Amino acid sequence: MLKFIGDGVLAIFPFESEKRPPKSMCFAALSAAREAFARLDQKNQLMPETDGLPLSFGVALTVGKVVYGNVGTEKRLDFTATGPAVALVSRCEDLTKTLDADVIATADFVELCGDNAVPLGDHEIRGFAEPVSLFSYCR
């Protein structure tokens, strides 16, 4: 599932016990992020730079429950996703700029995926009572 959030996109890789086990889905999400960066690099090489700066973005990865579906009224209906995991991943994506890391993941994601994650320490995240352990992945 894809959901546009302002100038961002939320991609959900749903778990199912046998068809889509959590570890496989985390690897798929990390693989999709790396593919997106590979395509970005190709695009930046092919097109002239805008104002001297190449295009860029950040990716955040987490594991958690979300609620998704149609929300609204007959006149204004929207398919959306919400929940603590959505808030967390959105706020972690914002940190890609300040932590100078293109791909940031939470400890829950790293626990399932591993794949050479580099610790970034614990960080206060608005709306969350406890600091969140974050990690980075190379593109």
3-state helix, strand, coil in the chain (%, to 5): 35, 30, 35
Task: List, for residues 38-93, the tens digit of each pLDDT value.
Answer: 999 988 888 766 666 788 999 999 999 998 888 888 888 888 888 999 999 999 99
Task: Please write the tens of the pLDDT for every residue from 85-122.
Answer: 999 999 999 999 999 999 999 999 999 997 799 999 99
Structure confidence at residue 24 (pLDDT): 94
Contacts of 129 (CB under 8 A, 6+ apart): none
The structure's pTM equals: 0.86
Domains and CATH numbers, the chain: 2-137 (3.30.70.1230)
